[in-house]
């Protein structure tokens, strides 16, 4: 895996599973306990904002009870030691809305689905760091609208910073997908995008995913084991 200059890592709920955060589509996952159309669409928020805010307030509060795991720590080591120059770059694109990558020490992190530790004004689009319950949120500081919502990208909405992600995929030498089922686009299509530009592609996942066949190599196992081993391969 050495001699790899530009790396893009995509992470999904599976990288946080060993920290105790439910994934979405595994047995007992979030989408078994809640209906997507009740808590993860703009229509759901318009229909019952208190219920949707309560769903995300509970997920935000749960963040205080979990810690990064060995997989987050390994990516933070890679981020700390991987150069950022004309021949080397690293971008960790996460679909997760938790803050475990940052708490492990990673800095080059992009949250394409938003973040629980942030609130979004549904009127003017300004994002604000947020810790408490959204139900107590004051009006938007930027525009005064009483419309703060969870800063999470819902089904039917456009994920954040897609141009920046596609630029990184176009120059990637290596694309690594960790802990994602490959069930939801646009993230599920990143492996094909990177491969089309000549990147080598590697999947690290508990089991084969919907996209495993697109990868040059797919390793099955727990992120807490596979990710540290892979990072050691890359750092040598
Ligand atoms: P999509 O259409 O690509 O998603 C397809 C998958 O999403 C389906 O296979 C199903 O698993 C699920 N899905 C979508 N709508 C559903 C519904 N009404 N009922 C049941 N399952 C449904 O996703 P999209 O609509 O293009 O979403 C746009 C973006 O929002 C995606 O990147 C998605 O990952 C993201 N998102 C984030 C969250 C979150 O909580 N962070 C929740 C939902 C969607
Ligand atoms: N180590 C590695 N992989 C794991 C582990 C683990 N310990 N535990 C679970 N996994 C894998 C599962 O095998 C599964 O393939 O993580 C994946 C989790 O898939 P999902 O629950 O679908 O989560 P994710 O892929 O992140 O969902 C994508 O869908 O609902 C939307 O926006 C939401 O960001 C989410 C997106």
State the average pLDDT over residues 30-57: 93
The count of other CB atoms within 10 Å of the CB of residue 149 is 20
Per-position DSSP letters for the chain, written without gaps between them: --S--EEEEEE-GGGGGGGT---SSSTT-HHHHS-HHHHSSHHHHHH-HHHHHHHHHHHHHHGGG----HHHHHHHHHHHHS--SSS-EEEEEE---SSHHHHHT--SEEETTEEEEEEEETTT--EEE--S-GGGPPPPTTT--S-EEEEEPPTTSPPTTHHHHHHHHHH-SEEEEES--S-STTGGGHHHHHHHTT-EEEEEESS--TTGGGSSEEEES-HHHHHHHHHHHHH-
Where along the chain do its domains lie? 6-21+68-113+158-235, 24-65+118-152
Long-range pairs for 42-51: beta carbons < 8 A, 24 or more residues apart: 42/154, 42/156, 42/157, 44/154, 45/122, 45/149, 45/154, 49/149, 50/135
Q: 108 pLDDT exceeds 70? A: yes
Tell me the mean pLDDT in the region 120-131: 93
Q: One fold for both 6-21+68-113+158-235 and 24-65+118-152?
A: no
Cα pseudo-dihedral 121, 127, 133, 138, rounded to 10: -50
Superfamily the domain 6-21+68-113+158-235 falls into: TPP-binding domain (3.40.50.1220)
pLDDT score of 147: 78
Scored b (16 or more CB within 10 A) or e, 6-35 reads: bbbbbbbbbbbbbbebbbbbbeeebeeeee
Of these residues, 111, 113, 123, 213, which one is catalytic? 113
Q: What does the pLDDT read at residue 46?
A: 92
> Hey, whose CA ends up nearest to atom 18 of ligand 1?
37
pLDDT the model gives residue 85: 95
Average pLDDT in the 191-200 region?
A: 97
- Global pTM value: 0.89
Whether 101 sits among the annotated catalytic residues: the reply is no
Per-residue pLDDT of 222-235, as tens digits, reads 999 999 999 999 99
State the Rg of the chain over Cα. Answer: 18
84 by Cβ neighbours in 10 Å (0-12 / 13-18 / 19+) ranks as exposed
Which protein residue has the closest C-alpha to ligand 1 atom 6? 184
Tens-place pLDDT, residues 133-144? 887 788 899 999
If we measure between CA atoms, which residue out of 119, 79, 126, 134 comes closest to residue 103?
A: 79
CATH topology of domain 24-65+118-152: SIR2/SIRT2 'Small Domain' (3.30.1600)
Mutate to test the pocket of ligand 2, among 181, 191, 221 (most ligand atoms within 8 A of CB): 181
Give the residue, by CA position, lying nearest to ligand 1 atom 14: 155
User: pLDDT value at position 1?
Assistant: 46
The residue whose CB lies within 8 Å of the most ligand 1 atoms, and thus the one to mutate among 155, 157, 158, is: 155
Query: What's the mean pLDDT in 205-220?
Result: 97
Summarised one tens digit per residue, pLDDT across range 142-177 is 999 987 999 999 999 999 999 999 999 999 999 999
185 pocket-lining for ligand 1 (C-beta < 6 Å): yes
Mean pLDDT along residues 191-212: 97
pLDDT reported for residue 3: 59
């Amino acid at each position: 895996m050495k001699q790899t200059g530009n790396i893009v890592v995509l992470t999904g709920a599976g990288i946080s599973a060993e920290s105790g955060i439910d994934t979405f589509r595994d047995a007992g996952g979030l989408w078994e306990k809640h209906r997507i159309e009740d808590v993860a669409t703009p229509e759901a928020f318009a229909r019952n904002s208190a219920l949707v805010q309560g769903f995300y307030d509970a997920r935000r509060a749960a963040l205080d009870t979990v810690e990064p795991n060995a997989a987050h720590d390994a990516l933070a080591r890679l981020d700390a030691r991987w150069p950022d120059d004309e021949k080397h770059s690293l971008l960790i694109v996460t679909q997760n809305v938790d803050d475990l990558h940052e708490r492990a020490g990673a800095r080059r992190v992009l949250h394409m689905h938003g973040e629980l530790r942030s609130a979004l004004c549904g009127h003017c689009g300004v994002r604000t760091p947020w810790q408490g319950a959204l139900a107590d949120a004051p009006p938007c500081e930027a525009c005064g609208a009483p419309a703060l919502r969870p800063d999470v990208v819902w089904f039917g909405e456009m994920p954040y910073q897609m141009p920046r992600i596609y630029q990184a995929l176009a120059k990637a030498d290596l694309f690594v997908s960790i802990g994602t089922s490959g069930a939801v686009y646009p993230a599920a299509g990143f492996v094909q995008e990177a491969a089309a530009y000549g990147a080598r592609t590697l999947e690290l996942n508990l089991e084969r995913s919907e996209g495993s066949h697109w990868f040059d190599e797919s390793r099955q196992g727990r992120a807490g084991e596979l990710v540290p081993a892979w990072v050691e391969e890359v750092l040598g």
